Chain A
């Protein structure tokens, strides 16, 4: 309780880093809910392994349904997919290894802005409300 009060007086940005283990325990809708609840509370959510294409598609759809004037304006999302040497994807599949994790950063659209993005570097600017 004391800790909560102390935090209230601090200005800053809360970042939630969600492990791949935590993500594996959740259903698609639970993942989307966790992300959007976090972002709507002005947090930056970082996913260690990201979402599947189908989950990304549903995230866009649910985000759209929650946008409202003078309130939530949507999300900014950036994903970093590590480059893999050619042929390694096939070898990973053969060895039963998971697809490479794609580090994903999600935040409120009005707080987070991508300044630069290429295959090796993503530069993001996070503003305080």
Chain B
């Protein structure tokens, strides 16, 4: 009975907080190069706080070819609720060759369609960044060299727009992972190591999301 009362009190307090906060949830874009684990992270966050998922995960690059938004994700930290919308965006690159997809057993027709959709997706991701994003989670695969032109350019674009940014060094469950390399490459930003797939270090992930975007 006491538990039920507490739950009722909490949900009323949450509803009034939301009603009187007067601010819309911030739109947090999940950005990064292809195959960094952006959708896996978006799904992990959505599943942890809403029980739902955002999109399909795949080892084939450019699985996400449209920006997908999950609204009103309420993250609870230290008794406070932080409400955000997350936008899972297609991986950003400066080149796409359909022949890369043939290596994954796709037919030429499917590979061409995928590359065409992927180019539209990258353009859409850039457009979101310029117009509709309030903060950025930049996801990097910590088994890969982070010092690439696309990463440097995108971080520069995000900084020029004065958006708050957190760098997530993903895939720390893999042997080759080296999150310190990411830290050293972008020392001006906070780097959080994690495995979105295995759910490692998610407490720190949510602490930092609440700190930066709350």
Q: Please report A residues at the B interface, Cβ cutoff 8 Å.
A: 52-54, 56-58, 60-61, 63-65, 67, 69, 73-79, 109-110, 114, 117-118
Cβ of A57: which chain B residues have Cβ within 8 Å of it?
A: 126, 129-130, 157
Interface bin, chain B = 20 to 34
Contact B156 A109 (CB under 8 A): no
Given A57-B129, A117-B147, decide whether A73 and B96 contact each other with a Cβ distance below 8 A: yes
Dominant secondary structure of chain A at its interface with chain B:
mixed
Minimum C-beta distance from A127 to chain B (A): 15
- Judged by a CB distance under 8 angstroms, whether B45 is at the interface is no
- Judged by a CB distance under 8 angstroms, whether B148 is at the interface is yes
User: Which residues of chain B from 137 to 159 have any CB-CB distance to chain A below 8 Å in the complex?
Assistant: 147-149, 152-153, 156-157, 159
Minimum C-beta distance from A67 to chain B (A): 5
Minimum C-beta distance from B137 to chain A (A): 18
- Judged by a CB distance under 8 angstroms, whether B93 is at the interface is yes
User: Lowest 3 A-B CB distances belong to which pairs?
Assistant: A74-B95, A109-B95, A53-B160
Minimal Cβ-Cβ distance residue in B for A78:
B149
Cβ of B161: which chain A residues have Cβ within 8 Å of it?
A: 53
Contact A67 B115 (CB under 8 A): yes
In the bound complex, CA of A36 to CA of B147 (Å): 24
Contact B97 A114 (CB under 8 A): no
Contact A56 B153 (CB under 8 A): yes
Contact A74 B153 (CB under 8 A): no
Given A61-B127, A69-B115, decide whether A75 and B148 contact each other with a Cβ distance below 8 A: no
Minimum C-beta distance from A26 to chain B (A): 19
Known contacts A57-B130, A61-B127; 10 additional CB pairs below 8 A are: A60-B94, A60-B123, A60-B153, A63-B95, A65-B123, A67-B95, A73-B96, A77-B94, A79-B153, A117-B149
Contact A77 B149 (CB under 8 A): yes
Contact B127 A79 (CB under 8 A): no
User: Which residues of chain B from 82 to 102 have any CB-CB distance to chain A below 8 Å in the complex?
Assistant: 92-98
Cβ of A52: which chain B residues have Cβ within 8 Å of it?
A: 160
- Judged by a CB distance under 8 angstroms, whether B120 is at the interface is yes
Contact A53 B123 (CB under 8 A): no
Minimum C-beta distance from A39 to chain B (A): 11
In the bound complex, CA of A3 to CA of B58 (Å): 53
Minimal Cβ-Cβ distance residue in A for B95:
A74
27 residue pairs bridging A and B, Cβ less than 8 Å apart: A52-B160, A53-B153, A53-B157, A54-B130, A54-B157, A54-B160, A56-B157, A57-B129, A57-B157, A60-B94, A60-B126, A61-B127, A63-B94, A64-B119, A64-B126, A65-B123, A67-B95, A67-B96, A67-B115, A67-B119, A69-B98, A69-B115, A69-B116, A76-B94, A78-B149, A110-B97, A118-B147
Minimal Cβ-Cβ distance residue in A for B145:
A117
Cβ of A54: which chain B residues have Cβ within 8 Å of it?
A: 130, 157, 160
Cβ of B122: which chain A residues have Cβ within 8 Å of it?
A: 60-61, 64
Minimum C-beta distance from A64 to chain B (A): 4
- Judged by a CB distance under 8 angstroms, whether B210 is at the interface is no
In the bound complex, CA of A109 to CA of B149 (Å): 13
Cβ of A114: which chain B residues have Cβ within 8 Å of it?
A: 149
